[in-house]
Chain A
């Protein structure tokens, strides 16, 4: 039996898990469900030794354990198949399966034959005929996943954690994987299945637990519940007061028209329009193509097709500079990787989008630059030790405001924001919400991508729901509830 006892975990002030106590029986398939950010992945990662809990203990078969690393957890029989697969793309399948446990000859030389044999046996155990000599890189995602399962089993794992295993698989591949997992269960492997896909969970799981905002809200036998009850349980909360920013009044003229825009890699063209003063929410599960859509809109996707019309003028495809000149701005999903140069100063980060407008006689007008940065930082109440302090010293919320500020300095007409409040504290969150609705009131068109349905419902006039890269609904916020959106997102 695996028992989580009072597990709490937070990341830089953001609570991911709050005193979660739940137990998983040996040999069962236990599904963990919840919205994006509910904490289900974190729980799985704690069991697999990737994270360490801030408080609470994990008890396996009566013994408290505390894993220092995934390697530690594997030694205790726990393997994980993460959402972002981790493997060595240029090694062979056999080398990946046996990594860290390479069979040797004469205590020193690599025994390739034994390695291939072992890989083949393990892969056969899960009903796969992947060639052990193939390079990992050339395999499909589904097959790479099978190799990871084989690798975990090879290391002696009797407990397997699957984190959203079907999120990047086709329907067929997903069905095959579910068959493999059902088979593993018969072979007495304990399975923790993290997912928000209702049908899979109801097919595979013996029991299921629902997490919400980091807390456990329900654990039940599969037979004792229904998909409807689970959806209600996943949402559960009422709209919090801080989010009740009233959507602004009537929208103005059409600002943005997206015609059959298809991000590279997805065949589903998307069309919609946005009016001045309107906030359009984009909802969808992880992997539904939300971020890909705004990136393609902003010209960042070199393989995208379709056209984007801003204020009557069609954008040159795949050109961020042209999109920017036409009045588009994108606050990206991952501010640390895509939004900021962390080692550079606040002011350098702020000015980077508007350097060309700060020219005076070919040189940078540094006084004006500083004054403008000061004004924008004050307007957004950004707390920074100084304009010259490295931006990495700022809190997440203030960093996010710097990214917003650097784009507002370009005076955009259409603002695209991708997960604007992920991982930031409640105060900054509220400030960003207020700012966004103020901007809309001033006539900007805003597109918000968010995993937080309450945020979308509170801010936007309309919500676009994406599933597997396609628009499945375009509904006015008044006609939508969290429940109806979640159903559309999950395809129930």
Chain B
């Protein structure tokens, strides 16, 4: 078969990630125990009850955030406030929707949820963008600041630490009727899929991929990230392009927050804490270079999947028998393993770059 059927670049970057994901899945399948569920023996990793609720569904909001952060990284910046924006968006969505009657129409509940989450996310992102461009400050500093400020606002605004408030609940049209709805009928009913978060992810992925590769303003991100000075010399509105991309990242974190709120039916002041690291890791593992000018939407999604699979593996594996020695895995190791995985992923990427150049 002609190898050129697959675009060269695609084969290098995303193909490598798919291979990593396949290897991870194989490894987890062989390394995990067989457990007995309702009388039948199943693999602890490769079972519907693990894959769908523990990997596929939660990866959807993480991947959406990773897409937004990838756009920022492509433009040569960084956004570490996404975890806090995610939290604010989830809390705001719950705070507003809990006031609807529990049998509210989906035609009211869903647009309202979207408007609140995107409004909060977009506003937070715009704040980041304006501060970075207006004050000519480094994005790391600005988003480090807003990360803390936004989390602080959430802590003050929600006295009970958690929403919905006592005696209130989110309308079913938003939660079990939509975001956390499970497929009960149809040919895929056996998979017990919760399709809505995944559908939103697919929509976000397609939209971002089109934006990045097929619109002038998406391409401007690569130009600014590749060489901001050359972009200025080329007459691009570097300030506006930069401000815009932080708003985009805020919007995606807002959307992700809404999905999480609808899925869990609640949010608390710690929602999204620490997510920024997992999300940036996903973007970087997905091939975005922190020096700017490279990265793809699909890479961000696959990168998020890699991180989520590692997290899941640490959750379900109790011990790994390597033949000569048995390694006991406990949850306490998760940060160490994920940290090394990020470093390894980027190191391998750099190494293959060097090889390609020779």
Q: A-side interface residues toward B, CB under 8 Å?
A: 300, 320-321, 323-324, 330, 332, 337-344, 348, 351-353, 355-356, 358-359, 362-364, 366, 388, 406
Contact = CB atoms under 8 A, between A and B. Distances in A.
B220 interface: yes
B354 interface: no
B219 A339 contact: no
A352 B214 contact: no
25 contacts: A300-B232, A300-B233, A320-B232, A320-B234, A321-B237, A338-B230, A339-B233, A340-B230, A341-B226, A341-B293, A342-B227, A344-B222, A351-B219, A352-B220, A352-B223, A352-B230, A352-B231, A355-B216, A355-B220, A362-B215, A363-B210, A363-B215, A364-B213, A366-B214, A406-B234
A205 B158 CA distance: 78
Q: How large is the interface on B (under 10, 10 to 19, 20 to 34, 35 or more residues)?
A: 20 to 34
Interface of B is mostly: helix
Interface of B: 9, 210, 213-216, 219-220, 222-223, 225-227, 229-237, 291, 293-294
Nearest to A393: B357
Nearest to A295: B233
Nearest to B210: A363
B219 A343 contact: no
Nearest to B218: A364
B216 A339 contact: no
A338 B214 CA distance: 25
A300 B235 CA distance: 9
B236 A352 contact: yes
Contact of B219 (A338, A342, A364): A364
Nearest to A407: B234
B233 A338 contact: yes
Nearest to B7: A388
A341 B230 contact: yes
A337 B235 contact: no
4 interchain residue pairs of minimum CB distance:
A341-B226, A355-B216, A341-B227, A324-B235
Contacts of A406: 234
A121 to B, nearest CB: 40
Nearest to B9: A388
A363 B214 contact: yes
Contact of A339 (B222, B230, B294): B230
B222 A348 contact: yes
Contacts of B233: 300, 320, 330, 332, 338-339
Nearest to A388: B9
Q: Which residue among B216, B220, B232, B294 has the maximum number of chain A CB atoms within 10 Å of its CB?
A: B216
B113 to A, nearest CB: 27
Contact of B226 (A300, A321, A332, A344): A344
B210 A321 contact: no
A27 to B, nearest CB: 45
Contacts of A366: 214
Nearest to B227: A341
A340 B227 contact: yes
Given A353-B234, A353-B235, A348 B227 contact: no
A84 B174 CA distance: 64
Given A337-B229, A356-B216, A344 B234 contact: no
A364 B216 contact: yes
B228 to A, nearest CB: 9
B211 to A, nearest CB: 10
Contacts of A363: 210, 214-215
A238 B236 CA distance: 43
A344 B223 contact: yes
B216 A359 contact: yes
Given A300-B233, A352-B231, A355-B220, A364 B226 contact: no
A291 B84 CA distance: 46
Contacts of B294: 343
A351 B217 CA distance: 12
A386 to B, nearest CB: 10
